[in-house]
Amino acid sequence: MDTTTIETNFRSEEYFINMGPQHPATHGVLRLLLTIDGEIIKKVEPDLGYIHRSIEKMCERDTYQQIVHLTDRMDYLSSNINNEAVCLTVENALELEVPDRVKVIRTIIGELTRISSHCLWWGVMGMDVGALTTYFYGFRDRELINDIFEETCGARLTMNYNVPGGLMFDIHPNFVKRTKDFIAHFKTKLPEYDKLLTHNVIFQKRTKGIGILTKEDAISFGASGPVGRASGYSCDVRKHHPYSALDKVKFQEALKTEGDTYARYLVRIQEMWESLSIIEQLIDNIPEGEYRVATNAVIKLPKGEFYQRVETARGELGVYIISDGVKSPYRLKFRSPGFSNLSLLNHIAVGGKIGDLVATMATLDLVIPDIDR
């Protein structure tokens, strides 16, 4: 048989494959249409809309107090920060000054939320690349934060603890003690995370040099959060546009320049250390005072456009409200971090293997309800 016959008989051909909507590595109901040649990825097309709940449209129906609880259901892993974003927008529009106590508590709870989200991500990241042990260890430490939330807010995931004007109720008397216990506990566990996964050669071989995103691309795709920072793009909203009590604390922005999957991993691990230090700076001196400023029973925003951004565990969340002076917004738009981070998946996954795509997607840390509001 000469070579030409082999080429015609065994010619390679591009074909489509569906990844999801029920693939476990897509963390929810995200469907990826892969065009692949052998195992080399030629094109990745995310197909959205499986859990679209029209949250933005529902916001046009609801009052400003009611909008807050809908944001719990967007990025459910950083629900407290989402709540804070809406509350800050409404407070800014009303020119309402909230007490220092509220600001500090909001920051502490926000950073706890970030750690809990990163714990879950770390567990799932390990599971995606084939290390099931991390899943249990991540969830073990996250449980302690959930207990803090359950005691203070009454719920573990969808807290709805912030209201425009402050907090729904004061922190629980045990809050400070529990948080301090958690910090002491977690400081001994984070080095174990490094031992288990970060320093593992097999894990490093799986992640180093995979899914490289350059700084220019990160900016042009609108990447934010750990994804942008791993490419050297300094985009921490907490640093550049501090809100709540974040202007009073000192912390370092986690920055890496490699832009690969491993750099995104390291940025998140470092963020957990930074969050711990932010909480430590605030937890001992929570100012006394009111936990809530009285607002009107029916909040009416003045006519105009209002925007506020916060840093969730995944990146920059923007809340854009157009108000025409009645009790519900004319239009409310969420700029969710997951959506723009997903948009660069095609760019960084092309040319890699399917196994690499799973590792890359794990470090994008996608939460599908956030993308599919």
Partner 1 sequence: MSYFSDIYKGIKTLLTGMSVTGKYFLTSRKGAITQQYPDNRATLKMFDRFRGEVIMPHDEENRHRCTGCQKCEIACPNGTIEIIWDRGIDEETGKKKKKIDKFVYHLSMCTMCGLCIDVCPTDAIEWGQNFENSVYDRTALTRVLNKPGSKLMPGVED
Binding site for partner 1 (CB under 8 A): 62, 65-66, 68-70, 72, 133, 140, 143-144, 147, 150-155, 158, 160, 163, 168-169, 172, 192, 195-197, 199-202, 297
Shortest separation between residue 204's beta carbon and partner 1, angstroms? 9
Q: Which two tokens stand for residue 221?
A: 């795709």
Nearest CB to partner 1, comparing residues 153 and 367? 153
Shortest separation between residue 195's beta carbon and partner 1, angstroms? 5
Shortest separation between residue 161's beta carbon and partner 1, angstroms? 9
User: Contacts by 344-349 with C-beta closer than 8 Å and gap 24+?
Assistant: 344/213, 344/217, 344/218, 344/221, 344/223, 344/227, 345/32, 345/44, 345/46, 346/43, 346/44, 346/45, 346/46, 347/213, 347/217, 347/221, 348/211, 348/212, 348/213, 348/217, 349/41, 349/44, 349/211
Size (the chain), residues: 373
Nearest CB to partner 1, comparing residues 337 and 369? 369
Q: Which two tokens stand for residue 211?
A: 């899914």
Shortest separation between residue 154's beta carbon and partner 1, angstroms? 4
Shortest separation between residue 202's beta carbon and partner 1, angstroms? 6
Q: Which two tokens stand for residue 295?
A: 């607002």
Contact of 77 with 117, CB cutoff 8 Å: yes
Amino acid present at 280: E
Q: Which two tokens stand for residue 185?
A: 């506990």
359/227 Cα distance (integer angstroms): 13
Nearest CB to partner 1, comparing residues 32 and 171? 171
Nearest CB to partner 1, comparing residues 6 and 326? 326
| Closest residue by Cα to residue 86 from 306, 326, 372, 314 | 306
| Closest residue by Cα to residue 145 from 29, 314, 313, 292 | 313
Shortest separation between residue 231's beta carbon and partner 1, angstroms? 27
Nearest CB to partner 1, comparing residues 153 and 313? 153
Give residue 102's Cα distance to chain centre.
22
Shortest separation between residue 363's beta carbon and partner 1, angstroms? 20
Nearest CB to partner 1, comparing residues 252 and 296? 296
Nearest CB to partner 1, comparing residues 150 and 258? 150
